[in-house]
Amino acid sequence: MTIIDTHAHLYSRDEKKYPPIEKPLRPPGGKGSVEDLRKDSTANGVRAVCAIQTTTFYRFDNRYICDSAGANRDWMAGVCTLDPDNPDSPAMLAEFGRRHNVRGMRSIPAKDGRLDHPGVRALWRSALDNGLVINVLVGREKTEELDRLLEDYSTLPVVLDHCMNPKAGPDLVPVLNSVLRLSARRNLHAKLTFIPTGSLTGYPCADMHGACLKVIEAFGAERCVWGSDFPCELWTPKVSYTEHLRIFQKDLPLKDAQREAILGGTARRLWFPRMVA
């Protein structure tokens, strides 16, 4: 089975070459470099990784993502984050795709809080024109705006990062209902990274299995992907990289074909279409 990790954040050890923002969110022990990621992914049989721009450390400075993805084309794809209020961002996205092995962009609302904003739409258009994938990071309050964008850009592949971050507790059902509603948009894919972040327990995070299975049922495994949330020491401190993967390999009651799609097949189609097995 080909395993692809679709959600890893990177942190350079060289903070002179890649300076962080003021008061960055740091992973424990300084973990999070490309070298650390390769070690974790190799140890767990992961064939390839999508490296997501770490805005809590670099904001819109995508140099480390671009350099890392460009230097590791055999196993990494870059996913940048650009400022929707910057009119130069659409051209930058196209350049990143051409030159730096960036194959997607994490889309966030504009400064005024709108997701359905001219600057966001310009970036989605650039992604469509350049054959890139949009990863959208929003909460359920943006459901209506996201639905409009998905309708207007119906041929653009879009991934819902963390599925709006459902968490065990009173808000689980409303958030889950918004995600399930959006599953009707056939160009939307579900990133199933929320089990350890939404759970009130440690591994195997059984309190979030039911919600995840409902998402898989609504989208179909062919529109679902797995991601580790690397470095797990920061983003999933109760669950290790190996345990997070094991939830999908062993603990969720999935058919073999579903596991193959979620753990690699869907991601390969979206970000690694030319991957050699």
Residues of the chain with pLDDT > 70: what percent? 99
Is there a domain that residue 161 lies in? yes
Give 3-59 pLDDT, tens digit per residue.
999 999 999 999 999 999 999 999 999 999 999 999 999 999 999 999 999 999 999
Give 199-233 pLDDT, tens digit per residue.
999 999 999 999 999 999 999 999 999 999 999 99
Is there a domain that residue 236 lies in? yes
Question: Quick one: pLDDT at residue 176?
Answer: 98
* Helix residue spans in the chain (DSSP H): 34-43, 55-58, 63-71, 89-99, 118-129, 143-152, 172-182, 195-198, 209-219, 232-235, 241-246, 256-260, 266-271
- List the domain range (segments joined by +) for residue 45: 4-271
Mean pLDDT of 118-139: 98
The type of residue at 53 is Q
Count: domains in the chain = 1
Q: Do residues 179 and 165 lie in contact, with contact meaning Cβ atoms separated by under 8 Å?
A: no
Is there a domain that residue 183 lies in? yes
Give 274's pLDDT tier (boundaries 50, 70, 90): confident
Pairing of strands 4-9, 224-225: unpaired
Q: What is the signed CA dihedral for 271, 195, 140, 188, rounded to 10 degrees?
A: 30
What pTM was estimated for this model as a whole? 0.97
165 has pLDDT over 80: yes
The type of residue at 205 is C
Average pLDDT, the chain: 97
Question: Quick one: pLDDT at residue 275?
Answer: 82
- What CATH number has the domain bearing residue 71? 3.20.20.140
Mean pLDDT of 94-109: 98
Is there a domain that residue 140 lies in? yes
* DSSP bridge partners of 78: 51, 102
Mean pLDDT of 58-69: 98
Is there a domain that residue 277 lies in? no
Q: Do residues 222 and 261 lie in contact, with contact meaning Cβ atoms separated by under 8 Å?
A: yes
Question: Quick one: pLDDT at residue 229?
Answer: 98
187 has pLDDT over 70: yes
Is there a domain that residue 276 lies in? no
The residues, ordered by sequence, that sit 6+ positions from 236 with a Cβ below 8 Å of its Cβ are 196, 197, 229, 244
